[in-house]
Copies of this chain bind each other. A is one copy, B any other.
Amino acid sequence: MPVPSAGREPLRIALLGCGCVGSQVARLLTEQAAGLSARAGGPLELVGIAVRDRQRPRPAGVDASLLTSDPAELVTRADVDIVVELIGGTEPARSLISAALGAGKSVVTANKALIASDGGALHKAASASGVDLYYEAAVAGAIPLLRALRESLAGDAIRRVLGIVNGTTNFILDQMDSAGAEFGAALARAQELGYAEADPTADVSGADAAAKAAILASLAFHSEITSADVFTEGITSVSAEDITKAKNLGFAIKLLAICERGDEGVSVRVHPSLIPRDHPLAAVHGAYNAVFVEAEAAGPLMFYGAGAGGQPTASAVLGDIVAVARNQRSGVSGPEPLTYAQLPAIPMDEALTRYFVSLNVADQPGVLAPIAESFARRGVSIKIVHQEGHGEDASLIIVTHAARECALAETTAELAAMGAVKAVSSVLRVEGEEGE
């Protein structure tokens, strides 16, 4: 029988960081107190906010009397039940979260870099203390995706996750696709519109997506996967010509985070990928995020939405706070380590994918035979051969069936040395097709 939530002891929240997201979380905790209390099974009370500079002016809705400049004291205070970390970066966030978990506080964070590098250890610490560690906002903003992996799909077996998890690169590739722009022009446009930072390295190199891939793989496969396990290739070498050629064959090019369960372990990688234009991920335009999950019982699922922004992030953090509060009241916090399966990460050389190889060739009879032979010798089976242009501009596009990365690398090295091949102009991977 339910107990009226109003009569319960409040769960007390400490907030670390009061920037764009933190100040919104603080405001919403007060403004939506009644609704949150009903959802959480009892009142939530904000009891402290750690900031670097207590004198700095704060937005309305932030109670100045709660500010402290001593986060280490705050996270272990006896009257704190849940710590919400919104500082970002590795330190001091890692030490503060560890201290909080060690002191028996559940933790909610939006810190993808930290979870991608130290998630395994932090989960173990949470489990040892019997508390929760939630981070919905770390991947794909307000899309309720990690929740679905942890709860709705927890009893299912996940085979593969394909995600567009970086809005900046999706915006750039989408611009290149729709407007025929080159990478540089599309990046400049993204910067102009605020979708890319002045230094876009973390996004265009794939590093941001790699952190999210590590988090997704860890949750989907109950294993400890870190950013270092993720093979990462960015989008800087994708050309307008690649996109046009892919389009002619019915593909779009997306930067995908791919987490795949094989017989020997888990392949986790981030790279530009050709996907069929009728795949649901191909319809993800602009700076949106989407994650496609293939599960045994539930079948294919996709989750789509805004991947960034203060409001969506604050919304995801609040959802986590409610979930953690409910867990605490029901006694299901930290029931078991999330990484019980302990599947190893498979090195990229062993990964099995399909390839799109574009060659500049001499436009003369007989050019295909030695090329086809080179693929065949390494057991790489060809699915599509497509010639574009004539004379000096002739190019041959080959799409293979599934092959090992190492076999493909040997083949392209041999092709590059052939007289009939002027250049291997690009090698990209193909994902998201049935029966690969």
Contact of A302 among B152, B303, B315, B327 (CB under 8 A): B303
A429 within 8 A of B: no
A142 within 8 A of B: yes
Contact of A280 among B3, B141, B155, B283 (CB under 8 A): B283
A28 within 8 A of B: yes
A301 within 8 A of B: yes
Q: A38: which B residues are within 8 A, CB to CB?
A: 332, 335-336
Q: A28: which B residues are within 8 A, CB to CB?
A: 155
Considering only CB atoms and an 8 Å cut-off, how many residues of chain A contact the other chain?
69
A305 within 8 A of B: yes
Q: A284: which B residues are within 8 A, CB to CB?
A: 280
A40 within 8 A of B: yes
Instruction: Determine if A2 and B335 form an interchain contact, defined as CB atoms under 8 angstroms apart.
Output: yes
Contact of A142 among B41, B297, B309, B327 (CB under 8 A): B297
Q: Which of A83-91, A143-151, A379-387, A397-405 contacts B (4 or more CB under 8 A)?
A: A143-151
Q: Within the assembled complex, what's the spacing in Å between the Cα atoms of A322 and B332?
A: 11
Instruction: Determine if B285 and A278 form an interchain contact, defined as CB atoms under 8 angstroms apart.
Output: yes
Instruction: Determine if A144 and B152 form an interchain contact, defined as CB atoms under 8 angstroms apart.
Output: yes
Instruction: Determine if B332 and A41 form an interchain contact, defined as CB atoms under 8 angstroms apart.
Output: yes
Instruction: Determine if A297 and B326 form an interchain contact, defined as CB atoms under 8 angstroms apart.
Output: no
Binding site of A, secondary structure by majority: helix, strand, loop or mixed? mixed
CB distance from A313 to the nearest CB of B (A): 10
Q: Within the assembled complex, what's the spacing in Å between the Cα atoms of A44 and B155?
A: 14
Instruction: Determine if A40 and B332 form an interchain contact, defined as CB atoms under 8 angstroms apart.
Output: yes
Q: A35: which B residues are within 8 A, CB to CB?
A: 154-155
Q: Within the assembled complex, what's the spacing in Å between the Cα atoms of A299 and B334?
A: 31
Contact of A298 among B41, B152, B154, B305 (CB under 8 A): B305
Most chain-B CB neighbours within 10 Å: which of A144, A151, A304, A330? A330
Instruction: Determine if B297 and A155 form an interchain contact, defined as CB atoms under 8 angstroms apart.
Output: no
Given contacts A282-B283, A319-B151, A329-B331, contact A309 B299 (CB under 8 A): yes
A65 within 8 A of B: no
Instruction: Determine if B156 and A152 form an interchain contact, defined as CB atoms under 8 angstroms apart.
Output: no
Given contacts A144-B148, A298-B312, A299-B306, contact A331 B2 (CB under 8 A): yes
Instruction: Determine if A299 and B305 form an interchain contact, defined as CB atoms under 8 angstroms apart.
Output: yes
Given contacts A39-B151, A144-B144, A155-B39, contact A332 B2 (CB under 8 A): yes
A104 within 8 A of B: yes
Instruction: Determine if B301 and A302 form an interchain contact, defined as CB atoms under 8 angstroms apart.
Output: no
A274 within 8 A of B: no
Contact of A154 among B39, B142, B300 (CB under 8 A): B39
A311 within 8 A of B: yes
Instruction: Determine if B130 and A2 form an interchain contact, defined as CB atoms under 8 angstroms apart.
Output: yes
Q: Within the assembled complex, what's the spacing in Å between the Cα atoms of A151 and B322?
A: 9
Q: A305: which B residues are within 8 A, CB to CB?
A: 298-302
Q: Within the assembled complex, what's the spacing in Å between the Cα atoms of A231 and B383?
A: 48
Residue of B nearest to A4 (CB): B335
* A contact residues vs B (CB 8 Å cutoff): 1-3, 5, 28, 32, 35-36, 38-41, 104, 130-131, 141-144, 147-148, 151-156, 278-280, 282-285, 288, 290, 295-306, 309, 311-312, 314-316, 318-319, 322-323, 326-336
List 24 A–B pairs whose Cβ atoms lie within 8 Å, in order of A's numbering.
A1-B130, A1-B331, A2-B131, A2-B331, A2-B334, A36-B155, A38-B336, A41-B331, A41-B335, A142-B299, A143-B298, A144-B148, A151-B323, A155-B315, A280-B280, A280-B284, A280-B290, A298-B305, A298-B316, A299-B305, A299-B312, A300-B304, A300-B305, A303-B304
6 additional A-B pairs beyond A282-B283, A303-B303, A304-B304, beta carbons within 8 Å, are A38-B332, A142-B298, A279-B283, A280-B280, A280-B290, A330-B330
